[in-house]
A and B are shown apart, each in its own frame.
Chain A
């Protein structure tokens, strides 16, 4: 069998590298989004008006502005903001703290996507937290568990069952959003395919395999989420749903 076409006119290895970068961006920003979402959901449910206000402001702004615009704002404007901070530190410490923090395309992409999806995750988690029967938490506390332990052992596993469908959905959207990092200059698989298309004038040869790559990742994640859903539903029968 002739496998020469796998070379993709010399772009093959870089397409694979690009795919690996896409995956890394997606997983890293998902981790940031999960953590941010958890914090924000807790803040929204807390009794502090300040925390609630900040969390609501964050989720409202994110849902009003396109991902691409936020990304460009952070990538192009973020560096200037960070520089102002490090310059201030430099002046304030008489030159003892001399930092330069580079917001490169990778960092900007991961942080922006994590930041955007943190807002969506917050809504998912908030709903899931509220779906957990308050009696369960009271029982845990009555057993003498600390609030942290009660969260880990009782609230978290119980709410995951409610959160999983939303998480799965957000992950799928996030995965596709990673394609935007190609516009701010990261060489993910979309960027490599775009570059190859413009150089060789063969759009289908490069764009279709990349589309298939996304389909494959999406289908695999769907299986993973089905497995997770089964796991976190242990002890609940269908009739209870």
Chain B
């Protein structure tokens, strides 16, 4: 009877809600055994997603290796850069392994491991662009792209925010795309990211680096990239430091690095 089905509408609705909520992924209470590591994707070649959805890259390999050494059961959590520190502090995950530079400002919020790589930042523009970074008047009205909330965002905002138009993007990939499309005059990027996106050192690439490598002031650029933890998780940080020391000592780090880079980005590299 039609009427009989009609009056079950509300109980059915309520029951389906209960069932559906019960099947929500990850809504379950977390157990303490595993370590969840957050990473901002994509940041090629450190991390990227293949078309089929697989996470790959230098930091994925490095992180997995460190977890194996420290005998931790790790899982990766994809998290946009904007919310990566609040997410750690609110315990959505236990560590950030995502090219995060050690800065004084961040040190007030999180605990850092030892640094595992250190690279400068670089300016990129169309080949042949005439720019004088010291002549601020000539930069007036130019647009520069950076990833929002990064050390490069802080630097550009502080030193060039008054003359240039700063466009802040959610990911470094979007910065590269818009420079290639011609929407930006300059991009200010992490060296390995720019190297991968623009291949700027080969002489026939359409984009090139201008100006020197930038890694000062240290108060903004920090002392290299490290893994971040909640301040009270000192034991966990110690485990990762131990593992980092091991992979550095036995050459595993170097081997991993050479798989993705043809230059040295380790902390004590001489350049």
- Which A residues lie at the B interface, using CB under 8 A? 9-11, 13-14, 27-28, 31-32, 34-35, 38, 75-76, 79-80, 83, 99-104, 106-107, 110, 152-153, 156-157, 185, 187, 195-196, 198-199, 201, 231, 234
Complex alpha-carbon distance, A156 and B28, angstroms? 35
With A9-B51, A34-B13 known to touch, is A106 a contact of B24 (CB < 8 Å)?
yes
Contact for B27 among A13, A83, A102, A152, CB less than 8 A = A102
Contacts of A100 in B (CB 8 A): 29-30, 91
Complex CA distance for A80 and B7, rounded to whole angstroms: 40
Q: Which of B14-22, B137-145, B207-215, B260-268 lies at the interface?
A: B14-22
Distance, CA A107 to CA B25, complexed state (A): 8
Instruction: State A27–B17 Cα separation when bound (angstroms).
Output: 10
Q: Which among B14, B20, B42, B78 is the interface contact of A185 at CB below 8 angstroms?
A: B78
Question: Which residues of chain B have C-beta atoms less than 8 A from A76's C-beta?
Answer: 83, 86
Min CB distance B183 to A, Å, is 13
- Let me know if A35 and B17 touch, CB within 8 A: yes
Which of B10, B86, B171, B173 has the most chain A CB atoms closer than 10 A to its own CB? B10
Taking a contact as CB atoms under 8 Å apart, the answer to whether B29 and A99 are in contact is: yes
Bound CA–CA A199/B197 (angstroms): 11
Q: Are B50 and A152 in touch, CB under 8 angstroms?
A: no
Pair B13/A107 contact, Cβ less than 8 Å = no
Bound CA–CA A80/B10 (angstroms): 33
Q: How far is B90's CA from A152's CA once the two chains are assembled, in angstroms?
A: 43
- Asked if B69 lies at the interface with its beta carbon under 8 angstroms from chain A, I say no
Please, which residues of chain A bring their CB within 8 A of the CB of B20? 27-28, 31
Bound Cα distance from A9 to B14, whole angstroms: 42
- Tell me if B174 and A198 are in contact (CB < 8 A): yes
Give which listed residue, A10, A83, A102, contacts B30 with CB less than 8 A. Answer: A102
Determine if B159 is an interface residue (Cβ-Cβ < 8 Å): no
A114 and chain B: residue at smallest CB distance: B17
Other-chain residue from A107, A185, A196, A199 in contact with B79 (beta carbon distance below 8 A): A185
* Pairwise interchain contact A101-B29, C-beta atoms closer than 8 A: yes
Bound Cα distance from A80 to B89, whole angstroms:
9
Residue pair A157, B6 in contact (C-beta under 8 Å): yes
Please give, as numbers and ranges, the residues of chain A lying within 8 Å of B251 by CB-CB distance: none
Is B34 part of the binding interface, using a Cβ–Cβ cutoff of 8 Å?
no
Enumerate chain B residues within 8 angstroms of A13, measured Cβ to Cβ. 52-53
Q: Is the CB of A106 within 8 A of B26?
A: yes
Given A31-B17, A79-B90: A104 and B27 interface contact (C-beta under 8 Å): yes
Residues of A within 8 A of B87 (CB): 79
In the complex, B219 has a CB within 8 A of chain A: no
User: Which B residues are in CB contact (< 8 Å) with A199?
Assistant: 42, 51, 173
